[in-house]
């Protein structure tokens, strides 16, 4: 399964991100139904407790701690600008190809604050519509005039899909030069202690990224965790690390969950 969940997500809150993970991906990955049975961080005030405890039909308990993997300062505001200024292209039929996908990637802070965002997707659409069929497979660089500023974009045209699969447009954001290991390290420092202290059969760290999997594959996080493993002995008591890709939650009612790391049993 590709971990893509569409429809019925509700408001994007920390609690809801965990609930959807438990009901869908955790249950699917473990082959039995799990439900959240406790929210310790909301009910236990005498200690730093994990966010949720999920319980399976056979009584297996899973401790889950969720945190945003914030790759750079100001990411939330920049994600809001991306949603308003570029994400509408995903629903624009003038940009989509009949049977190939386009991935449109903007750099962090490519859309300045104080700009009239609503005009930006119109400008990008007017630029891409007449040239989209000439795009070669792979990546190409484009600079688009958007009402007083120039917007650089990297665009990938994928190989053609199967005949019955229509082309889609996906919008993502590239990531700054800050090594991924540094941002993963911050998350591990903040959250591993809570997980290790919790009594449960399984312990899972759920990292949220305001991105889509195609732009930020989970393998990179897994490699960063392995690189940090010697510095964090507590990882030997963590079973799995998952990523919740939430960029499309509010605009498309879609979220992806992908497993990034799993401790090998017996280690």
Q: Can you say whether the dihedral through the CA atoms of 213, 216, 219, 221 is positive or negative?
A: negative
Give the model's pLDDT for residue 159.
85
- CB atoms near residue 146 (< 10 Å): 23
Closest CA to 64 of 80, 53, 76: 53
Give the model's pLDDT for residue 259.
94
Give the model's pLDDT for residue 1.
43
pLDDT over 90 percentage in the chain: 49
Give the model's pLDDT for residue 242.
97
- CB atoms near residue 131 (< 10 Å): 11
pLDDT in tens, 230-262: 999 999 999 999 999 998 888 788 899 999 999
Alpha-carbon distance of 114 to 99, in angstroms, equals 36
pLDDT in tens, 52-73: 999 999 999 999 999 988 665 5
With cut-offs at 50, 70 and 90, classify the pLDDT of residue 178. low
Domains of the chain by residue range = 4-72+178-262, 75-173
Res 105 pLDDT > 60: yes
What is the pLDDT averaged over residues 203-228? 87
Residue 100: C-alpha distances to residues 138, 148, 166, 190, 192 (Å): 11, 32, 7, 41, 42
The CATH class that applies to domain 4-72+178-262 reads alpha beta
Most confident region among 98-112, 176-190, 217-231 by mean pLDDT: 217-231
pLDDT in tens, 13-45: 999 999 999 999 999 999 999 999 999 998 887
């Amino acid at each position: 399964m590709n971990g893509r969940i569409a429809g019925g997500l509700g408001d994007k809150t920390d609690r809801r991100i965990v609930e959807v993970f438990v009901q869908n991906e955790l249950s699917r990955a473990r082959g039995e139904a799990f439900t959240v049975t406790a929210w310790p961080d909301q009910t236990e005030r005498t200690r730093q407790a994990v966010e949720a405890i999920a319980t399976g039909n056979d009584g297996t308990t899973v401790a889950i701690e969720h945190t945003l993997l914030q790759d750079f300062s100001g990411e939330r505001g920049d994600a809001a600008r991306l949603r308003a200024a570029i994400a509408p292209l995903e629903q624009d039929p003038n940009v989509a190809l009949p049977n190939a996908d386009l991935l449109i990637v903007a750099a962090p802070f490519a859309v300045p604050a104080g700009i009239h965002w609503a005009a930006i997707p119109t400008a990008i659409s007017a630029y891409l519509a007449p040239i989209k069929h000439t795009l070669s497979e792979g990546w190409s660089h484009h600079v688009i005039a958007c009402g007083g500023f120039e917007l650089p974009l990297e665009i990938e045209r994928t190989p053609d899909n199967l005949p019955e699969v229509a082309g889609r447009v996906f919008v993502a954001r590239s990531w700054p030069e800050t090594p991924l290991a540094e941002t993963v390290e911050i998350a591990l420092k903040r959250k591993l202690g809570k997980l290790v202290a919790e009594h449960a059969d399984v312990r899972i760290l759920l990292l949220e990224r305001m991105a889509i999997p195609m732009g930020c594959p989970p393998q990179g996080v897994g490699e960063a965790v392995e690189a940090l493993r010697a510095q964090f002995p507590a990882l030997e008591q963590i079973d799995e690390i998952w990523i919740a890709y939430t960029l499309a939650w509010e605009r498309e009612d879609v979220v992806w969950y992908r497993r990034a790391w799993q401790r090998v049993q017996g280690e």
